[in-house]
Amino acid sequence: MISETVIIGGGVIGLAIAIELKLRGTNVTVLCRDFQAAATHAAAGMLAPDAENIANEAMRSLCWRSRALYPDWTRKLEELTGLNTGYRACGILAPVFEEAGEHTSLREAAPTTTLSNRGGSTSLREASPTATLSDQGAGEQGGRGESLSSSSPSSPSYWLNKEAIHQYQPGLGAEVVGGWWYPEDAQVDNKALAHVLRTAAEFVGVELKDGITVEGFLQQQGQVVGVQTNAGIIRAAHYVLASGAWSNELLPLPVLPRKGQMLSVRIPEVSPELPLKRVLFGQDIYIVPRRDRLVIGATSEDVGFIPNNTPEGIQKLLQAAIRLYPQLKHYPIQEFWWGFRPITPDELPILGTSHCQNLTFATGHYRNGILLAPVTAALIADLILEQKSDPLLADFHYSRFQSQSSTSTPMLTHSANFSNGHHSAISPLPTQDSPLIIAGKTFQSRLMTGTGKYRSIEEMQQSITASDCQIVTVAVRRVQTKAPGHEGLAEALDWTKIWMLPNTAGCQTAEEAIRVARLGREMAKLLGQEDNNFIKLEVIPDLKYLLPDPIGTLQAAEQLVKEGFAVLPYINADPMLAKRLEEVGCATVMPLASPIGSGQGLKTTANIQIIIENAGVPVVVDAGIGSPSEAAQAMELGADALLINSAIALSPKPAAMARAMNLAAVVGRLAYLAGRMPIKDYASPSSPLTGTITS
């Protein structure tokens, strides 16, 4: 049976959405590669929008709404399963140290009430009438209620002076001089919640499939028609991407992993009662009391998917935790763990519709996945089943990353012809030529360029304009990681007039290249090129000479051709490999002239000539060309096109060099079509010997 909805991701977000959809009458399947790897298990379960001091108004409103849903949401889950989620409306205490001058602005902007100690009793007294962060926009949000549309008009917080905070929570470090009390914040046991959600999903009839790795989306005409997995193709009417830190492996979304290390210490059995009764939210540390242990977290490390705890990470946590609550230094360590939180550039989630009509995004929740689970489930269910889009979703739509360019340079407009209005047009060729055709798509320009190594986005834009190219190659991995020079690339070029050629630069194995190629296809679709199945295939394990791996290239090409890609493989100038790649279905072959980025020129001329003579697909000379004369020479050999990047980008005047390379490609092609004069071993005078004037 085909499920009505398939959810990719079995963490708290994916399971919460699945349960909500199922309770509303939809058949749901959840695909999860590893239930234990979900970010849910790396959290502490704090429901702390106030303690987090969230500055973004839309995010603050979303978090308040979700926190308001928590008591009823967890109660219903507990009634379904008979299990405890560990939800506690305990409030959160945020102690401040003596040198916390950086917290002054928070104190000045926060509550209208303060707590102090008078004669041994804690009392409320009026503080300076300064506005709180919670007060901003209060009038437009309405009162607190259980309906999804309501949220806190403000969320109270109180300053506790030194005497008050030490009385309220004994055992704090001597350096604590005061702190904030956030009474509406709460906590839930994240591991218990994950277990309850999974149990509830099974109870209501959600189909859970563990050990399923989704490898890509199958798309046709703006619709997802299936997901390719290690267990075959799985189809549904609708799809939800909720795979957290792994979302970027399936689609070119700016969601990256942020590693967090955590540990727990066991409270000694001799303690008559829980010594720490309240969540402590300190500077770069938090301590969450549970029934028999204290949970301590968390580091925030931009290290990709590097696993495991480290001595440095655990040491930092313990030092900060002991400073905040010294007596835990005597508690036995119970457990270490780590996880990967999904972070976006603005640290806000990606929620709502996507580039495909039947694909919905619910990812990138970063620190607030546990907190936002109930509101995300409700909003996404409304969107899928009722086509009801809450106005707040607009602030979390994926398109916000496409509309914000890192440069103020206007979007590049580009001509598909040899002239773009900035240069005098080249006269039509006197010799008849056919256009360049690759995988059934026609191009007039025979020069392809790249986007890397430029000193600025502006130089890259000017150079691409000057080159009059129609195909621009883009390193998928560098765009996804926003590598220097690639920020704002999606917005910097007019992709309605330039054909994107995604490439797999940085891939050392066939498996990596296949995965990145799938991402590249999705990236092109997000930029409006729905029918773009081109991929420049690079498999380069050799980091010194950057020479391509012939075996890995062939293996990856065979698989990508089967998946419907138009494969343009970058190879050594190996005639036998070129022929084999053509036989497996590659759209071109792209032999190197010399090592990439070397500028050595044509060092493989003889082999390139053999490849050209025997090829039934276009031959594109790629890499090593350093000057226009070398570009013209390659075209004179009979190459169908050139791909040139370094020679342009590294020139002192890139735009001028781009124009020169354009002219070189044109004159080289024209020279090839015209035909070279024969080479002779003897001289032959240019002027006739007959009819001359003699004495």
What residues contact 118, with CB distance under 8 A and at least 6 apart?
Answer: none
Q: Choose among 295, 229, 298, 286: nearest CA to 261.
A: 298
Separation CA 474–CA 384 (nearest Å) = 34
Separation CA 590–CA 539 (nearest Å) = 13
Q: Choose among 450, 375, 360, 380: nearest CA to 647.
A: 450
Contact 263/273 with Cβ under 8 angstroms?
no
Separation CA 398–CA 526 (nearest Å) = 10
For the purposes of burial, counting CB atoms within 10 Å of the CB of 509, is it exposed (0-12), middle (13-18) or buried (19 or more)?
middle
What's the number of CA atoms in the CB half-sphere (13 Å) around residue 487?
11
Which of 191, 497, 536, 680 is catalytic? The answer is: 536
What token pair was written down for 693?
Answer: 């004037």
Q: Choose among 284, 300, 396, 393: nearest CA to 346.
A: 396
* Structure letter (DSSP) for residue 589: B
Task: Give the pairing of strands 285-289 and 359-363.
Answer: unpaired
Contact 452/650 with Cβ under 8 angstroms?
no
Whether 525 is catalytic is: no
What token pair was written down for 521?
Answer: 């296809």
Separation CA 394–CA 412 (nearest Å) = 27
Separation CA 194–CA 175 (nearest Å) = 37
Contact 405/554 with Cβ under 8 angstroms?
no
Q: Transcribe 294-363 into DSSP letters.
A: EEEE---B--TT--S--HHHHHHHHHHHHHHSGGGGGSPEEEEEEEEEEE-TTS--EEEE-SSTTEEEEE
Catalytic positions, written as ranges: 536
